[in-house]
Chains A and B, each alone.
Chain A
């Protein structure tokens, strides 16, 4: 396949030494194998995720994403915008749609952008990396590059909220999307059948402000993965990844559980299956080590 190029919106959590920097490492390794070129949007800014609304009104929040899209149109014309973070993708895609459909908001947004010499058409598609993998490559093509199938590893595909609702991945249902399970299978691992917390919420950004309430949700997500016999959980979202991985000690203390469940990204699995080293796959970024992947990667 020929090289594919996208305009890339990495988002705050993917920056060097930020909470999802390990996601970025594995994405880069995966993209190298698939010959995907990610052209970072120059000087991009935060999208305010789904939590900027206390301080920011509708227009200022739209203006954040508008600035990124305007720079993207200029720097990477003709390319789709791709985000790896679920919240970044959602905020940008929502802004793209709303501005495209609402003339008042579009006019005002452009008036604001003009302050920095920018102009927006909102003409570029905004896509999540998972969409790119499934729609522009497809499972067969993704499977062709597997060098080390993830044999004997059982994985719970935790899709969560924002890559699934409201837009979702084309052709999938909201209640039981199958793409993560299919990716797991394509990499040679075994998906947990009927993982009943697949599309549950981890609390999102409210894991910070409402830790107790969120950890009650996270507990169910992990417990159900254990019930299904999972060795690890895989997710497409940096907020889900962090929430489900890092609070396990707190949850163990409070609920007298014994959780020690690794939580990885789809790109982590792909990087290892494609023959990457532990470092390439960002495995050194796991707070709860994914031992089976480490062993396979070092073989």
Chain B
């Protein structure tokens, strides 16, 4: 268990709802859920959610901390916003899912081999480096995120798509050596660093 996680467990004892309200993006909305179940029928990856959103909200109130934060479920969210426009209580469900995923990741207890967890981190690393996404490097990092063997298999499978994109000039090998970027990437990084510091000061779990 990471230090940050241990610290949160001690600080909030058995009040997981409070912990979510204090630390998770839009977490203060969780108590408004009336358990109607509409959101749970809305997720495109529905059958693959071990705990659909309604259940997650119930589990948060029941204090099932580890079951929620270590779950693979929030990482199944495709950001389709079906739930948000349907929820009778207008909970920002999409953002709570992203918030829970981020919080679990910060505490170091998100499922390690969850593919979206890895991809979302790669995406962030990729964009914060130069200020803009480098699609080629992101793609390569993605194919190789499960190791060299898997990566070569995936790359072969994706080869035809990559070739199609190259032929239609929707991908360029130049991205490997330079590629698109923000001129003031330094300024952007300074902004992000400050934002991280401010957020860490307001939200106790820094988990670094």
Closest 8 interchain pairs by CB?
A55-B124, A116-B187, A54-B120, A50-B79, A165-B81, A17-B172, A209-B119, A115-B190
Asked if B195 lies at the interface with its beta carbon under 8 angstroms from chain A, I say yes
Size category, B interface: 35 or more
A107 nearest CB neighbor, chain B only: B198
* Residue of B with least CB distance to A283: B168
Contact B182 A45 (CB under 8 A): yes
Min CB gap B108→A, angstroms: 12
User: Quick one: CB contact mask for B170-208 with A, threshold 8 Å, 1 for yes?
Assistant: 111011000010111001101111111011001100000
Selected from A15, A57, A210, the residue in CB contact (under 8 A) with B115 is A210
**CB within 8 A of A15: which of B48, B82, B180?**
B180
Q: Which residue of the partner chain B has the closest CB to A108?
A: B198
Give the shortest distance, in Å, between B152 (CB) and chain A (any CB): 16
9 contacts between A and B (CB under 8 A): A52-B124, A54-B101, A54-B102, A55-B121, A57-B203, A60-B195, A108-B199, A209-B115, A249-B160
Indicate if B99 sits at the interface (CB-CB under 8 A): yes
Q: Chain A's nearest CB lies how many Å from the CB of B50?
A: 14
- CB pair B79–A63 under 8 Å, yes or no, is no
* Given A19-B135, A287-B165, A115:B194 Cβ within 8 A: yes
Complex Cα gap A13–B180 (Å): 11
Rounded to whole Å, the gap between the CB of B151 and the closest CB of chain A is 14
Asked if B170 contacts A21 (CB within 8 A), the reply is yes
Chain A, Cβ-Cβ closest to B133: A12
Q: B61 near A: Cβ within 8 Å?
A: no
Kindly specify which of A32-40, A139-147, A196-204 makes contact with the partner chain. A196-204
- Whether a CB of chain A sits under 8 angstroms from the CB of B117 is yes
Chain A residue, CB-CB nearest to B118: A209
Contacts of A165 in B (CB 8 A): 80-82, 84-85
Mostly, the B contact residues are helix
Docked complex Cα distance between A54 and B167 (Å)? 33
Is the CB of A1 closer than 8 A to any CB of chain B?
no
- The listed residue (B101, B183, B191) touching A53 by CB distance below 8 A is B101
Chain A interface, number of residues (Cβ within 8 angstroms): 67
In angstroms, Cα B83 to Cα A224, docked, is: 23
Near B by CB (< 8 A), chain A positions 67-103 give: 67
In the bound complex, what is the Cα–Cα distance between A118 and B84 (angstroms)? Answer: 33
Q: Is the CB of B170 within 8 A of A19?
A: yes
For chain B, residues 117 to 133, give those with C-beta under 8 angstroms from any C-beta of chain A: 117-121, 123-125, 127-128, 131-133
Contact A111 B187 (CB under 8 A): no
User: Using Cβ atoms and an 8 Å threshold, which residues of chain A touch B116?
Assistant: 54, 206, 209-210
B76 → chain A closest CB, angstroms: 8
Per the bound structure, the CA–CA distance linking A70 and B199 in Å amounts to 20
Asked if B142 is an interface residue, CB under 8 A from chain A, the answer is yes
Contacts of A46 in B (CB 8 A): 127, 131-133
**B26: min CB distance to chain A, Å:** 8
B142 in contact with A209 (CB, 8 Å): yes
- Take A18-B180, A161-B81, A166-B81 as given contacts and tell me if A109 and B195 are in contact as well, using a CB distance cutoff of 8 Å: yes
State which of A21, A200, A206, A213 has its C-beta within 8 Å of the C-beta of B169: A21
Q: Mark B137-169, 1 if CB is under 8 A from A, else 0.
A: 001001000000000000001001100110111
B contact residues around A18 at 8 Å (CB): 135, 170-171, 180
Tell me which residues across on chain B come within 8 A of A209, comparing CB atoms: 115-116, 118-120, 142
Say whether A26 faces chain B, with CB atoms less than 8 Å apart. Answer: no
**Most chain A beta-carbon contacts within 10 A, residue among B105, B106, B193, B198:** B198
CB–CB B164/A246 < 8 A: yes
Does B169 lie within 8 Å of A67, measured CB to CB?
Answer: no
- Please name all residues of chain A whose beta carbon is closer than 8 Å to the beta carbon of B124 when the two chains form the complex: 48, 52, 54-56
